[in-house]
């Protein structure tokens, strides 16, 4: 995710305001999201989002999936963003080489992970969401390939050579090699796991909970919804757990274990914790690879790469200290 210059960000704000007025008949000043540059602006009690036309089909499928989840919200208790129809009656609009969507603000708050109930409640909520998604079938997926195929492709590509990544320190390359070897050795485990429709990226930032009960009441950002083992989605919760600073008093292994326990209680099914960690390693290696290879000439991504490297290192260190007995992880 590349951060635009101030001038480029301003041009996008002007474009967003023009599209908002022309397609929705609203005169407002869009305010860029503070959570990172992702082509998203706040407009009063709504969010305006766009994606390139090349990604338009997936963007529209995500919008359709929002509608299907909201159709079931009366019984499931879990909502998704509600798309605001355009002046022409559509749910999306095409303009300036992009597809645009306006959605209502979701109720609830984003769990920060500091409340003792956040991770177990997130695990319980994810189990309930998976029941709903499983009933929709694989044809409702927004993205292909799924997480298992992405992990296999990552292994097949291997790591870029030193000449392609001259800024990568030897010790960091060694850590990436260790993680990639673990994913390669675990591919059979991932491939044998049952698959269903997943959220795709249900980390804490993409969840909304009731402030009092901490119960999951809404999800957002379903652009990665794909077909794969439920362990992948649990791994996304794990990535949130390991993203916490050690000074915050959040232990990544313990937080993830509580989320998995909550999932098991609600779903009444087994969870392969080895697969959960393998998906986490594969996701982090892929993100680092994309960051390192995707930088524009002259672009300084040092702080972003450093944060991602530190995050990956914490997960790899936890993996090295874990032993697996059956489908459960134990610290040595």
Whether 234 has a pLDDT exceeding 50, the answer reads: yes
DSSP 231-280: HHHHHHHHHHHHHS-GGGT--HHHHHHHHHHHHHHHH-S---HHHHHHHH
The pLDDT tens digits for 97-107 are 999 999 999 99
SS3 per-residue string spanning 181-229 = HHHHHCHHHHHCCCCEECCCCCCHHHEEECCCCCCEEEECCCCCCCEEC
Residues 110-158: pLDDT tens digits?
999 989 899 999 999 999 999 999 999 999 999 999 999 999 999 999 9
Rounded CA-CA distance 21/27 in Å is 5
End-to-end Cα distance, the chain: 37
d(CA 125, CA 218): 9
Rounded to 5°, angle at Cα 255 from 254 and 261: 85
Distance CA 250, CA 248 (A): 6
* pLDDT tens per residue across span 170-179: 899 999 999 9
User: Looking at the predicted structure, is the pLDDT value of residue 265 above 80?
Assistant: yes
Q: Does residue 60 contact residue 52 with C-beta atoms inside 8 Å? A: no
pLDDT tens digits for range 272-327: 999 999 999 999 999 999 888 876 555 556 677 888 899 999 999 999 999 999 89
Q: Judge contact between 100 and 192, C-beta under 8 A.
A: no
pLDDT reported for residue 7: 86
Helix (H) or strand (E) holding 330: strand 328-331
The DSSP code sequence of 13-37 is HHHHHHHHHHHH------EE-TT--
Greatest pairwise CA separation for the chain in angstroms: 61
DSSP secondary structure of 61-82: HHHHHHHHHHHTHHHH--B-PP
Q: Which domains does the chain have, with CATH numbers?
A: 6-104 (3.30.200.20), 118-331 (3.90.1200.10)
Taking the C-alpha atoms of residue 13 and residue 19, their distance in angstroms, rounded to an integer, is 10
Task: Report the distance separating Cα 49 and Cα 40, nearest Å.
Answer: 4
Task: Of 74, 68, 58, give the one whose Cα is nearest residue 134.
Answer: 68
Model pLDDT, residue 292: 83
* CA distances in angstroms from 34 to 3, 81, 274, listed in the order given: 12, 18, 35
């Amino acid at each position: 995710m590349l951060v635009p210059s101030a001038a480029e960000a301003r041009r996008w704000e002007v474009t967003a305001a023009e599209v908002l007025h022309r397609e929705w008949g609203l005169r407002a000043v869009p305010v860029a999201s503070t959570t990172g540059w992702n082509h998203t602006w706040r407009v009063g009690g709504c969010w305006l989002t766009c994606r390139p036309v090349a990604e338009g089909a997936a963007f529209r499928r995500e919008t359709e999936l929002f509608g299907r989840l909201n159709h079931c919200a009366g019984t499931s208790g879990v909502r998704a963003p509600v798309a605001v129809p355009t002046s022409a009656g559509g749910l999306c609009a095409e303009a300036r080489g992009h597809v645009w969507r306006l959605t209502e603000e979701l109720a609830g708050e984003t769990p920060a992970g500091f409340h003792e109930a956040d991770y177990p409640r997130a695990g319980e909520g994810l189990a309930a969401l998976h029941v709903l998604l499983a009933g929709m079938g694989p044809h409702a997926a927004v993205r292909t390939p799924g997480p298992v195929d992405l992990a296999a492709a990552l292994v097949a590509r291997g790591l870029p050579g030193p000449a392609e990544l001259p800024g990568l320190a030897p010790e960091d390359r060694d850590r990436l090699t260790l993680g990639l070897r673990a994913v390669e050795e675990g591919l059979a485990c991932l491939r044998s796991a049952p698959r269903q429709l997943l959220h795709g990226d249900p980390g804490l930032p993409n969840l909304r909970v009731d402030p009092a009960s901490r119960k999951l009441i809404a999800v957002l950002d379903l652009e990665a919804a794909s077909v794969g083992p439920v362990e992948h989605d649990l791994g996304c919760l794990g990535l949130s757990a390991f993203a916490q600073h050690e000074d915050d008093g959040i232990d990544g292994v313990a937080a993830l274990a509580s989320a998995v326990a909550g999932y098991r209680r609600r779903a009444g099914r087994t969870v392969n914790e080895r697969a959960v960690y393998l998906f986490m390693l594969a996701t982090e290696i892929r993100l680092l690879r994309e960051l390192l290879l995707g930088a524009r000439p002259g672009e300084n991504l040092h702080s972003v790469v450093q944060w991602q490297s530190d995050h990956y290192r914490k997960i790899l260190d936890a993996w090295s200290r874990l032993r697996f007995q059956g489908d459960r992880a134990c610290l040595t």
